[in-house]
Chain A
Amino acid sequence: MSDLNKVMIEKYRTSFLREVEANVEEGEWVKMCMQCGVCAGSCPLGKHWDHPPQEIFMMIRAGKRDEVLTSDSMWMCTSCYNCIARCPRGLPITHIMHGLAVYSKRLGLAPQKQPTAEFSQIFWDNLMKKGRVNELKLGLSLYFKDGFGQGVKNAMANQKLGQNMMKAKRMNPMEFFGGHGVKDTSGLQKMIKKAQEIEDAKVQGKG
C-alpha cells in the first residue's frame, strides 16, 4: 500500500465523502447527486462500467472507499460530456470521473494495465517532452507499451492504417527523428513542475 494511501485512510477514517470533497477535482459536487440515473443512461460506454457515475456517487457517500478507488469504471469516460449536458443537478460529472481516476492513480489504487490509464500517461509524457504531441511516437509507444514482442504484433495489426496515414501525408515518418515542439521547452517544463508541486502539496494537506 502506498504511503499516501495510508495517510489518507488515517486522515479521513470517518468519511470517504470528505476525502473526495477535499482531494478530487470538483469532488465537492458529489453530495448534490439525487440518484436519478440520467448519467448512467446517457453514457455511450455505459454498458462497460461496473458502476455508472450515479452508483459511484452513492458508493462514495456510503464509504465504499476500496470499491470506488480500485474500480476500472472511471477510466471508461470518453469525455463526451453527455452526462454534464443532461444532469438535472448540474454536476460536472465528466470532471469528477477524471478526478476520481487521477486520485486513485495517485494513491496507487488504479487497476494495473488499465489501457486508458496507460494511454493517458503515455500521451502526457509525450506532450511534456516538447510541449506538442509527436503523433508518430505516440502511436508507437502505445503499440509497444507491453514490450517488444507484443509491440511488433500490434504494429503489424495496424500496419495498413499506418501506411494509409502516411500515404495521405497525415503522418510524417520523419517525426520519429524529432518532430515539432514549442521553442520555450524549458519554461514550459518549469511551469508544469511548479504546477505539479502545488497540486501535490494540496493533496498532501500541505498547501
Chain B
Amino acid sequence: MGIQLNEIPDWNCCGASIGYGGGGELPRLALSARNIALSEEHNPGQQIVATCAACWLATREAKERLHDDQQMFKDANAALAEAGLMYKGQAEVRHMVEVLVDDIGFDALKAKVKKPLEGLKIAGYVGCQTNRPFGIAGESFENPMYLDNIVESVGAESIRTYEKKVQCCGGALAFSEPEKSQEMIHGIIEAAYDNGADLITTPCPLCQANVEIYQDQINEKFGTKFNMPVVYYSQLLDVAFGRSAADAALNGQIIKAKKLEDIANK
C-alpha cells in the first residue's frame, strides 16, 4: 500500500473506555497525552494511526479536550513534565479505516485483490467506537456504509441492511455485566444468521472478541447453536490480497472461518 507504520516508542495503554472509573479525568487524559507527546518527539510530523477503536477514540478525545480547555492543557503538561515529556497536540490522530477509505480508496483496494472472496456473504458489524462520536467523514452514525464497501471491494457479498450494524456489544461490560452484554451479542449474531451471513466482520478489536468468544456461553443460556465466525476486517483484506491463512491470523480464530480459509488455501 506504500504506507509505513512506525511504532510509538514506549507507548502505554490509553485506559480504554473503562479506565475512567479508576483514573478519573486528568490521569486518564495524561495517558493519551503521553502517547501523543512520545509520537511528536520521536516521529515528528507524522500522523498517529490507531488500529483499535478505543485507542483511536481515547487519543483523539484527549487531544480535543486538551485543545478546548487551556487549564487542562497546562495541567496535563505539568503531569507529563514528571516523565520529562512535553505535549504540543499537533499530531493528527486517525483510525486505520480512515487511511484505507480516505487515503487509499475502495478502487485502489479493489485493484490489489488477487483472490476475490467470491461466494462469501458477510455481515459488516461496525459497532460503536469506530462510528461514534467521531466516525468516518461523510458516513452516517445510524447506517454507515464503508464496511460494506470494503467487503464489496474484496469481492464478497455484503449485507448492506444488516440491522445490528451499529448495535453495542457491551464493550468492557462484557466482563463486568456478562448477562446484560451477552443478551446484546445474542441479537448481533442472530441477525447475521437471519440475513444468511457466512461470517461477521468488524473494524473493532473488542467487538471481534466479544462477538466471537462468548458463543458457547450464549448457546448454553439461550438454547441456540451459534457457530458464527467473526473476523477483523483486515483479515478479509489479507486473504483477498493473496496472503496465507496463517499470515491472516486465521489460526487465531476460536470459531474457524472455514470458507475464508478455503479461499486462502486455494
Contacts and interface: CB of A to CB of B under 8 A. Distances in A.
Interface string A110-139: 000001111111111101000111000001
Given A79-B128, A196-B27, A161 B217 contact: yes
Given A118-B176, A123-B22, A81 B75 contact: no
Interface in B183-237: 184, 213-214, 216-217
Interface residues of A, number: 60
A188 interface: yes
Interface of B: 10-13, 15-27, 29-31, 34, 75-76, 78-85, 128-129, 132-133, 135, 141, 167-168, 170-173, 175-177, 180-181, 184, 213-214, 216-217, 251-254
A191 B79 contact: yes
B230 to A, nearest CB: 12
Contacts of B184: 44
Interface in A125-165: 125, 127, 131-133, 139, 142, 160-161, 164-165
Contacts of A195: 26-27, 29-30, 75-76, 79
Interface of A: 25, 44-45, 48, 75-76, 78-82, 84-86, 94, 98-99, 101-102, 105-106, 115-125, 127, 131-133, 139, 142, 160-161, 164-165, 167-170, 182-184, 187-188, 190-196, 198-199
Contacts of A199: 24-27
A160 B167 contact: no
A93 to B, nearest CB: 10
Interface of A is mostly: helix
Contact of A169 (B13, B23, B85, B252): B252
A25 B19 CA distance: 14
A164 B21 contact: no
Contacts of B27: 192, 195-196, 199
B21 A101 contact: yes
B84 to A, nearest CB: 6
Which of B24, B76, B177, B252 has the most CB atoms of chain A within a 10 A radius of its CB?
A: B24
B175 A194 contact: no
Given A142-B176, A164-B254, A124 B22 contact: yes
Contacts of A123: 16, 18-19, 21-22, 172
Nearest to A170: B252
A124 B251 contact: no
B80 A168 contact: no
Contacts of A190: 82-83
Contacts of B253: 168
Nearest to B30: A195
B159 to A, nearest CB: 21
